[in-house]
Amino acid sequence: MKKSTAYAWLGLLAAPAMFDVAAAQSQTQPALEPLVVTATRTGIRREEAPTGYSEIGREDLQRTPAATLADMLRDVPGISLEEERDGRSLISVRGLNPEHTLILLNGRRLNVTDELIGHSDFRMAQIPVAAIERIEVVRGPTSSLYGADALGGVINVITRTPEEWTTTLGTRYGWVDRQSGGSERVASLFTGGPIGERVGATFGLDVYDRSPARDRQDPEMDHREGRDAFTGYGSLDFRPNEASRWELFLNVSDDERDTTTGPGPDDWRELDLQRYSVGIRHDYQGDTWSSRVDLYRSRSDSEEVQLSREEVHTDDVLDISASRDWGGHHTLTLAGDVRFESFQRERAGAQELDESVRHRGALVQNRSYLLDDRLILTLGTRLDDHSRYDSQLSPRVGGVYALTDHTRLKADYARGYAAPDLRRSSPDFIGGPPMPWLEFVGNPDLEPERTDSYALGIEHDAGPWHASATLFRNDVKDLIDAACIANCGSRSPMAPEIREYSNVERARTQGVELEAGWRPGETWRLRGNYTYLEARDRQTDQRLVRRPRQRFNLLAEAELWPGGRLNLRGEYIGDQRIHDENASGYTLWHAGVRQELTPQLSLRAGVENLTDRQLYEVDDAYGHEIRGRFYHASVNWEF
């Protein structure tokens, strides 16, 4: 990591935390029940959320040694991880591509670099875990709310906002069994709370260091890259009165990756990535109406050292929304936004790409409480205007009906839309992964991708019990994929296989999501979920690649002695198509323990991948590997 850069960012982030907090500790307010905000852009109760809503709380985040957003979401129904080379993971929601999932930080979008920088997980590693309060997940198209990039769904990371001054310090160490390298060290800090009567501040920081891990089958190459990174988030908010709130925020990350790809002196890869998002927000909450204005910039600078290639992606966003209650049983929401996006690439000082577009959108949505509030009906639509493509309309209709006080029936229809990214739609693009025998080329004739999504679900909550079942179907038109156009099957650098991005005329992903949980008290928990997915190209009737047919997750947790809590987690990843082969499924088991020494100090330890499962032992069709048996221990102190 570039130390001078890191210290400079650290100084900027830490500035809001340098206030005198002694007086602030006495300024407390009563706790409020958190509301779901991602599903409708307005605050609603959890039981009113549409089909496909899940939430991950701090308790879940602390149970595992999660270092990226993908790690935190691996046991959410309907979500699968696309394992990439070098130990990276991308998120696929209900069988749609990773770039079809919009990731938000407190409702503000993160750059969609997954589609601009191939095989990257950089959005997954941009948010300090120490600062996260909860994660809201909405599966299914939300283009009617957020526009393009939300074809598959939305993941919104909500940061902590303590009501009294709180500081958390943590450190973790982990190592891989029977493997050369792969150890990791993590240090984290969070501090935040009110400063006086009208001002508050938060600051979160994660510092992460992981050594490369050698491949067991080929000790001359790494199967997991090394990583040296820090991520930080800071905010300063001011409340001039009870109804108004101003916020200044800054999110930064500095991330360096390195890996060895073979025995030769040129068999290596190194990537340096710097990202930031900075801006201002104003919230107003009146008696009958509320509003929000966001103005911010997000930028990613990456350098692939071995290729002498540099890439810059920038988003400048203005987002305005307002909601008003009317008629006693209705909430009307209006919103509009404009986003300027640009992408540049240079190799050895020569410019290869310089593309930019403008996105504009307008939203109208009405939420109605009918039949003595037993029926909640949501109608909405969004108009998107893209500077390169025709305008698109994304309607949505959803309903929640309370059959009883504990059982709800939910149904949704939505249309999704995503324009081709600036890389794949450029006639000047030639590139792809650092493999000399494979090249990708852009296609300016690409059409936007579209989906029609249907979902029907039932949920039951009664005391300690929770259960739900959801049927879903996504009909996708013009799905973008890469098809071979020359030298197909070649593995020679002298005549590399060339793949061009093109539209798959029609595809479909459909399946079922089942969940069940039992929590008789604070010390016992049992829960599980199952997802069945059928994802096919409807032209060829072939399964779409890297979409597991089945996924199953299980958690059992119990407090067996005072202050000590054990957990056992299992996950089954079903068979999937890898290139032209069908790869067998496999099962992973994980265990952990948490011991409270005092109300403020706790110890955690555990083992991930208890059976030391390796994919080459499961099926040689897999082209990547997963981490072997991993031991970890951590200390957390909150005061």
Tens-place pLDDT, residues 64-80: 999 889 899 999 999 99
In contact, 309 and 342? CB cutoff 8 Å: no
Look at residue 490 in the predicted model and tell me its pLDDT: 78
Model confidence at 2: pLDDT above 70: no
Model confidence at 120: pLDDT above 80: no
- Any domain includes 38: no
- Any domain includes 359: yes
Residue ranges of the alpha helices (H) in 147-301? none
As a whole number of Å, the CA-based R_g of the chain is 24
Residue 633's domain comprises 3-27+44-638
The tens digit of pLDDT for each residue in 303-362 reads: 989 888 899 999 999 999 999 999 999 999 999 999 999 999 998 889 988 999 999 999
- Any domain includes 32: no
The phi and psi torsions of 365 (rounded to 5 degrees) equal: -145, 140
Model confidence at 23: pLDDT above 80: no
Which element (helix H / strand E) includes 13? helix 3-14
In contact, 595 and 583? CB cutoff 8 Å: no
- Any domain includes 419: yes
Q: Say how far apart CA 6 and CA 9 lie, in whole Å.
A: 5
In contact, 52 and 78? CB cutoff 8 Å: yes
Percent of the chain with pLDDT over 70: 93
- Any domain includes 159: yes
Q: Say how far apart CA 193 and CA 239 lie, in whole Å.
A: 13
Look at residue 98 in the predicted model and tell me its pLDDT: 86
SS3 521: strand
DSSP 548: -
- Any domain includes 90: yes
Banded model confidence at residue 115, pLDDT cuts 50, 70, 90? low
Residue with the larger pLDDT of the pair 463 and 376: 376
| Of 145-149, 436-440, 502-506, 515-519, minimum mean pLDDT range | 436-440
Model confidence at 365: pLDDT above 60: yes
Look at residue 330 in the predicted model and tell me its pLDDT: 96
Look at residue 600 in the predicted model and tell me its pLDDT: 95
The tens digit of pLDDT for each residue in 591-603 reads: 999 999 999 999 9
All residues at 6 or more sequence positions from 420 whose CB lies less than 8 Å from its CB, including other chains: 446, 447, 448, 449, 480, 501
- pTM for the model stands at 0.91
Banded model confidence at residue 605, pLDDT cuts 50, 70, 90? very high
User: Which amino acid, one-letter code, is at 387?
Assistant: S
- Other Cβ atoms closer than 10 A to 619: 16
Look at residue 341 in the predicted model and tell me its pLDDT: 95
- Any domain includes 39: no
Model confidence at 498: pLDDT above 80: yes
Residue with the larger pLDDT of the pair 21 and 586: 586
Look at residue 434 in the predicted model and tell me its pLDDT: 54
Model confidence at 282: pLDDT above 50: yes
Look at residue 438 in the predicted model and tell me its pLDDT: 79
The tens digit of pLDDT for each residue in 299-311 reads: 999 998 988 889 9
* CATH number reported for the structural domain that contains residue 340 in this entry: 2.40.170.20
Q: Say how far apart CA 594 and CA 606 lie, in whole Å.
A: 9
- Any domain includes 277: yes
The tens digit of pLDDT for each residue in 185-244 reads: 999 999 999 998 999 999 999 999 999 999 888 888 998 999 999 999 999 999 999 999
The phi and psi torsions of 274 (rounded to 5 degrees) equal: -125, 135
Model confidence at 106: pLDDT above 90: yes
Residue with the larger pLDDT of the pair 42 and 23: 42
Banded model confidence at residue 293, pLDDT cuts 50, 70, 90? very high
Q: How many separate domains does the chain show?
A: 1
Beta bridge partners of 573: 551, 586
The Cα-based distances of 212 to 85, 87, 434, 505, 622 in angstroms read 13, 10, 18, 41, 20
